[in-house]
Amino acid sequence: MKQEDKQSHKRENKPEQAKYDIEADNLVKKFGEFTAVDGISFQVKEGEIFGFLGPNGAGKTTTIKMLTTLLAPTSGTARVAGNDIKKEPNAVRKSIGIVFQDPSLDEDLTGRENLEFHAILYKIGKEKRQEKIAEILKLIELEDKADVLVKNYSGGMKRRLEIGRGLLHEPKVLFLDEPTLGLDVQTRRHIWEYIKKLNDMHKITLILTTHYIEEADYLSQRVAFVDHGKIVALDTPKALKDRLGGDVISVQINKDIDTLEKHFKTLEWIKNVSRHENYLDMTVMEGEKKIPDIIRIAGEKNVSIGSVNLHKPSLEDVFIYYTGSTIREEAGEGMRGIMRARMRRGGR
């Protein structure tokens, strides 16, 4: 973490007047010699949408499992809805809802039956149970599909049912672990709008983990970058992007990238140089005026440039700034996912 951000991150973790639904203090989780979560501390305000953004394996899901009492921390502690995760695990469980990364519906039951089974587990009385199920079905827009077997639902319908089920017992905090993983772009957008509506209507505190840049940017009121088990930056999406300042020029270099990287780092008008694969990202002021200079310098160094792209800072640029790498797409997407990420950044 950069020195100037250590202080701001430390200030971020000091409770002031806001009421917090999550207070995590130096959480650590080890599996043998491997440290999955390495001293994470943060707070989540009441009614906030808080995002954990990072690549698969960064420690996001392990953190959520500790906060929801599914895993005991190796050290450190946390309070959820005012309850200590170590001393009051049952109280924590009663105050939260969880939408797991992996599907957890019974596909041989209808949507209504899935909700009813969940309500019975939480000992919701019959009269209130029917009232709540009707309310949830309307909220998640599945009233007309309530008596259809879940195995006949689309991916988006299943996800909405899982979110609705997590709300059935009126939790104070709802955890969403990769809520749109595996969904197509259109369905993903629909789920985003639905999550926003939930927060606006019910003022419920939402904790979101994701490795999708746009998802964290669109949904999170504050976002924490998680990499190798640590929080490397935490702020609002706008404030994080503002930290870079100026414009970002991305240059594709097919060979001799070391030569240009070393030279660009000596230039005062380039605020920051980040390298990933065969790209150099440079933060500059008035980027459109600096592109000719970059091309000229490359020519003088006999280095061939494949492409040049200019754009305003994105959360991906900020993540690269703090970690030196892009957020790796989920296993299975491979280079297609990486290319899509690049196209979203301006087609470079």
* Closest-CA residue to 287 (of 339, 249, 315, 332): 249
Chain position carrying tokens 């994701």: 210
CA–CA distance from 127 to each of 157, 227, 317 (Å)? 26, 47, 52
Using pLDDT thresholds of 50, 70 and 90, give the confidence band for residue 18. Answer: low
Domain 241-344, CATH among 3.20.20.140, 3.90.226.10, 3.30.70.260, 3.90.1300.10: 3.30.70.260
Q: Which two tokens stand for residue 230?
A: 């640590």
The average confidence (pLDDT) of the chain is: 86
Q: CB count, 10 Å around CB of 152?
A: 11
Chain position carrying tokens 């993540």: 319
**Does residue 160 carry a pLDDT above 70?**
yes
Q: Write out pLDDT tens, residues 109-134.
A: 999 999 999 999 888 998 899 999 99
Q: Which two tokens stand for residue 271?
A: 């605020």
CATH class of 3-236: alpha beta
**Does residue 240 carry a pLDDT above 70?**
yes
Return the domain boundaries, the chain.
Answer: 3-236, 241-344
Q: Which two tokens stand for residue 145?
A: 């599909």
**Does residue 345 carry a pLDDT above 60?**
no
**Span 293-319, mean pLDDT?**
91
Alpha-carbon gap, residue 276 to 325, rounded angstroms = 6
pLDDT at 51: 96
Contact assessment for residue 335 and residue 294, using Cβ atoms and an 8 Å cutoff: no
pLDDT at 278: 87
pLDDT at 223: 97
Span of 37-51, 145-159, 252-266 with lowest mean pLDDT = 252-266
Q: What percent of the chain has pLDDT over 70?
A: 89
Q: Write out pLDDT tens, residues 49-84.
A: 999 999 888 999 999 999 999 999 999 999 999 999
Q: Write out pLDDT tens, residues 174-199.
A: 999 998 888 888 888 888 988 898 88
CA–CA distance from 88 to each of 15, 82, 111, 292, 316 (Å)? 21, 10, 32, 62, 38
